[in-house]
Amino acid sequence: MADSDIAPGGSLFGSLLTAMVTPMRADGTIDLDETARLADKLVSDGCDGLVVAGTTGESSTLDDEEKVSLFRAVVESVGDRASVIAGTGSNDTAHSVLLSEMAAETGVDGLLLVTPYYLKPTQSGVQAHFEAVANKTDLPIMLYDIPGRSAVPILPDTMLRLAEHPQIIAVKDAKADFAAASYVMANSDLVFYSGDDGLTLPWMSLGAAGLVGVTTHLATVQFRQLVDAVLAGDLATARRIHFELEPAIRAAMTRVPGAVAAKEILSWQGVLPDPTVRLPLTAPTSAEHELMRADLADAGMELTR
């Protein structure tokens, strides 16, 4: 997406982004043709941004060559119609720098950098990690604050210091500390995105630009309507859609990991031919299937399989 193509919400990245699954064949190899088709469908249905090789894309089980092939396939499929954000973060700063440089060569529009995980760095280490990557790229960066996975949050004062870097422009927030986020939003130009599908409306009521979601795979049109309603100031419509989406979000986000659920439901919808995931993720059990299908029935979703 060109720099001049600013989405209605006012963000370079867009207002409705899906953290894409990585389509795979039954043997676990990546299916780039299905990746391109899925990207096209998501954008046609209302997404103005896609995150590739993030958590939902099973990034921790992909090697660098696979990630680069995914970045390239999505850019070629929809790069002229939506922003393409490459997930290049890890807990290894040098590796994050290298992968970010490789991603830039594919024509992506930005980078998603998760907080370094497992090692539990101090806030000075978190800051230095992000700045090391930002210093090596001309691409805009979205920080991914998800202490439930990384163990370490990005504290407000750290965010304010990072906001001073010209390449760091946004935050995907998956910790739902609205007080801390309000402080950062009031004192910086960082653009926030909900990192929790069910909190899209509360986040946008504070001024967040939109959502980076998982359930957006299977209810893209409804999420587009929700986001557009908030941007238009139509909170009554936004609230109605928020509640209508609750069962779908339950199916996609609470029964099994999001990548597993999204692939399974996409296969039930006839969108994805194969729901294969890589270990240590596994397919849902029969009991989990029943719960997910009941949730989707509550949401009024039609399934073809």
pLDDT tens-digit readout, 48-105: 999 999 999 999 999 999 999 999 999 999 999 999 999 999 999 999 999 999 999 9
| Res 12: pLDDT | 87
Rg of the Cα atoms in the chain:
18
> Would strands 16-19 and 210-213 be described as parallel, antiparallel, or unpaired?
parallel
Sequence-distant (≥ 6) Cβ neighbours of residue 118 within 8 angstroms = 91, 150, 151
Average pLDDT score over residue span 3-7: 46
Position 7 pLDDT exceeds 50: no
| Res 142: pLDDT | 98
DSSP 46: T
- pLDDT category, 203, cuts 50, 70, 90? very high
How many angstroms separate the CA atoms of 300 and 302, rounded? 7
How many angstroms separate the CA atoms of 281 and 228, rounded? 34
**Residue-wise pLDDT tens digits, 181-201:** 999 999 999 999 999 999 999
Position 1 pLDDT exceeds 90: no
Mean pLDDT, rounded, of the chain: 96
Question: Which tokens sit at 108?
Answer: 């992506």
Position 2 pLDDT exceeds 50: no
**Residue-wise pLDDT tens digits, 164-177:** 999 999 999 999 99
Q: What are phi and psi of 87, to 5 degrees?
A: -80, 105
Q: Which residue among 67, 120, 144, 183 is the active-site one?
A: 144
| Res 192: pLDDT | 97
How many angstroms separate the CA atoms of 239 and 214, rounded? 19
How many angstroms separate the CA atoms of 168 and 154, rounded? 13
No. of H helices and E strands in the chain? 13, 8
For the whole prediction, is pTM greater than 0.85? yes
144 is catalytic: yes
| Res 6: pLDDT | 46
Q: Which residue among 67, 172, 193, 263 is the active-site one?
A: 172
Q: What percent of the chain has pLDDT over 90?
A: 95
Question: Which tokens sit at 248?
Answer: 């779908």
**Residue-wise pLDDT tens digits, 265-280:** 999 999 999 999 999 9
**Residue-wise pLDDT tens digits, 119-165:** 999 999 999 999 999 999 999 999 999 999 999 999 999 999 999 99
How many angstroms separate the CA atoms of 41 and 51, rounded? 14
